[in-house]
């Protein structure tokens, strides 16, 4: 694919690969703007179900207008019938890799990441899109000095999203069978694990509860060797209390996570907006003035200030303070000389 033109974009190099497709860096042939192009592998393009889910990702993401959702610019097929999606090119790191390097996060940083995630989800749910596969792999962190803490959260991969109520004119050709189980076991709501029922936005909120639990403890709520065992735990076992792992965290945070992890959707947080408002009321200190480094090609660190007065300022060139010191010393020497000279010539009046 490298060197080929896909739509209006020329493929430059490969930047990622998964089990079903390859992601390339590309440039607009006229404007030169950089984008990411995800190309479905040929063997999957022939599968109508996979192809539909692939294009659902483009339709679902384009139906949502929010800074926390990865923008989709175009989608279609190349000459040999391979399917592709053109998306914004992100520089940063997925949350899985970030957690692997950082371990459990400071609760204030965890709350900021989840607050942005909930804001993006609220926009998706209002647009009639349920993600259904939220997990750290599908949450990307990019640098954005205009965002709180200098980090912008981006939600990726709407490949198995559910389009509810014909959002903004988007009409999926097919619907997922009710007995089909889709998702990632460690973050799946009990109703997803059971299958055979309609999934709504509250399943996404359960996944967010699992993610928030993992951010502050270093592990998801349920851990087991087999996927089936994990799914059974989601259905039948009460989730562990946050205080079992981190006693210093506010009880309000534990109460929120417990509500997000309720077995019944009716007992769960009713909406992303509700969960966001509850999270904002948790008494947590402001983000510290530490340094967060994202493992991207451009490894510029992110400073997370505790207050606006601690935002990094431009460093002065080295010659400026040196020049100021030299001038100050010269003025001091001149003053000493003048005072000393005047004293020698001064004669008191009799």
- Between 35-49, 96-110, 192-206, the lowest mean confidence (pLDDT) is in 35-49
Judged on CB neighbours under 10 Å (0-12, 13-18, 19+), 180 is exposed
Band of pLDDT at residue 246, cut at 50, 70 and 90: confident
**Strand-pair category, 34-40 with 21-28:** antiparallel
Higher pLDDT, 176 or 143: 143
What is the percent of the chain with per-residue pLDDT over 70, rounded to a whole number?
75
- Whether residue 154 contacts residue 139, with contact meaning beta carbons closer than 8 Å, is answered with yes
What is the percent of the chain with per-residue pLDDT over 90, rounded to a whole number?
47
- For residue 284, give Cα distances in angstroms to 110, 114, 227, 249, 304: 11, 14, 34, 9, 15
- What pLDDT is attached to residue 116? 95
Q: What is the arithmetic mean of pLDDT over 36-59?
A: 83
Q: What is the arithmetic mean of pLDDT over 224-241?
A: 95
- What pLDDT is attached to residue 54? 81
Give CATH for domain 92-308: 1.10.510.10
Q: Is the pLDDT of residue 107 over 80?
A: yes
Q: What is the arithmetic mean of pLDDT over 297-302?
A: 40
Band of pLDDT at residue 322, cut at 50, 70 and 90: low
Report, as residue numbers or ranges, the catalytic residues: 133
- pLDDT per residue over 159-170, tens digit each? 666 655 444 444
Band of pLDDT at residue 95, cut at 50, 70 and 90: very high
Judged on CB neighbours under 10 Å (0-12, 13-18, 19+), 246 is middle
Q: Is the pLDDT of residue 16 over 70?
A: yes
User: What is the spatial distance between Cα 261 and Cα 206, in angstroms, rounded to a whole number?
Assistant: 5
- What pLDDT is attached to residue 64? 86
Please state, rounded to an integer, the average pLDDT across all residues of the chain: 80
Higher pLDDT, 108 or 147: 108
Nearest to 221 by CA among 248, 190, 197: 190
- What pLDDT is attached to residue 78? 82
- What pLDDT is attached to residue 9? 93
Q: Is the pLDDT of residue 309 over 90?
A: no
Q: What is the arithmetic mean of pLDDT over 291-305?
A: 49
- What pLDDT is attached to residue 190? 96
User: What is the spatial distance between Cα 169 and Cα 128, in angstroms, rounded to a whole number?
Assistant: 11
Q: Is the pLDDT of residue 230 over 50?
A: yes
- pLDDT per residue over 134-164, tens digit each? 999 999 999 888 777 788 999 988 766 665 5
CA 143 to chain centre: 10
Token output for 110: 């965890």
- What pLDDT is attached to residue 307? 32
How many CB atoms within 10 Å of residue 1? 15
Q: Is the pLDDT of residue 308 over 50?
A: no
- What pLDDT is attached to residue 195? 86
Give CATH for domain 5-88: 3.30.200.20
**Strand-pair category, 291-292 with 302-303:** antiparallel
- pLDDT per residue over 203-213, tens digit each? 999 999 999 99
Residues in the chain: 350
- Whether residue 54 contacts residue 46, with contact meaning beta carbons closer than 8 Å, is answered with no
Band of pLDDT at residue 236, cut at 50, 70 and 90: very high
User: Which span out of 48-57, 248-257, 324-333 was modeled with the highest average pLDDT?
Assistant: 248-257
- What pLDDT is attached to residue 159? 64
- pLDDT per residue over 276-285, tens digit each? 999 999 999 8
Q: What is the arithmetic mean of pLDDT over 53-75?
A: 84
Domain boundaries along the sequence of the chain: 5-88, 92-308
- Whether residue 89 contacts residue 25, with contact meaning beta carbons closer than 8 Å, is answered with yes
- pLDDT per residue over 330-341, tens digit each? 666 666 666 665
- What pLDDT is attached to residue 62? 82
């Amino acid at each position: 694919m490298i060197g080929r033109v896909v739509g209006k974009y020329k493929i430059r190099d490969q930047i990622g690969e998964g089990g079903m497709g390859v992601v390339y860096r590309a440039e607009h042939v006229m404007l030169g703007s950089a984008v990411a192009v995800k190309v479905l592998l040929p063997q999957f393009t022939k599968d109508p179900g996979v192809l539909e889910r692939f294009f659902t990702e483009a339709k679902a993401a384009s139906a949502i207008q929010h800074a926390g959702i990865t923008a989709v610019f175009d989608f279609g097929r190349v000459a040999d019938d391979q399917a592709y999606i053109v998306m914004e090119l992100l520089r940063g790191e997925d949350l899985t890799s970030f957690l692997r390097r950082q371990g459990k996060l400071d609760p204030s940083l965890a709350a900021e990441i989840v607050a942005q995630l909930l804001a993006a989800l609220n926009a998706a749910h209002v647009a009639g899109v349920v993600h259904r596969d939220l997990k750290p792999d599908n949450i990307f962190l990019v640098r954005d000095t205009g965002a709180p803490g200098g980090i912008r959260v981006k939600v990726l991969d709407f490949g198995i999203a559910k389009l509810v109520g014909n959002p903004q004119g988007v009409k999926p050709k097919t619907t997922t069978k009710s007995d089909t189980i889709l998702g990632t076991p460690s973050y799946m709501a009990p109703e997803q694990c059971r299958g055979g029922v309609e999934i709504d936005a509250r399943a996404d909120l359960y996944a967010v509860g699992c993610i928030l639990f993992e951010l502050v403890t270093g592990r998801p709520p349920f851990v087991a060797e087999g996927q089936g065992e994990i799914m059974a735990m989601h259905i039948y076992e009460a989730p562990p209390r946050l205080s079992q792992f981190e006693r210093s965290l506010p009880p309000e945070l534990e109460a929120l996570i417990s509500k997000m992890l309720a077995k019944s959707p009716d007992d769960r947080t009713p909406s992303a907006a509700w969960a966001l408002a509850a999270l904002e009321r948790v008494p947590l200190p402001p983000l510290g003035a530490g340094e967060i480094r994202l493992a991207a090609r451009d490894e510029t660190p992110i400073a997370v200030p505790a207050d606006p007065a601690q935002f990094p300022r431009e460093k002065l060139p080295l010659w400026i303070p040196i020049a100021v010191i030299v001038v100050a010393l010269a003025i001091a020497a001149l003053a000493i000389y003048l005072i000393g000279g005047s004293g020698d010539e001064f004669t008191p009046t009799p």
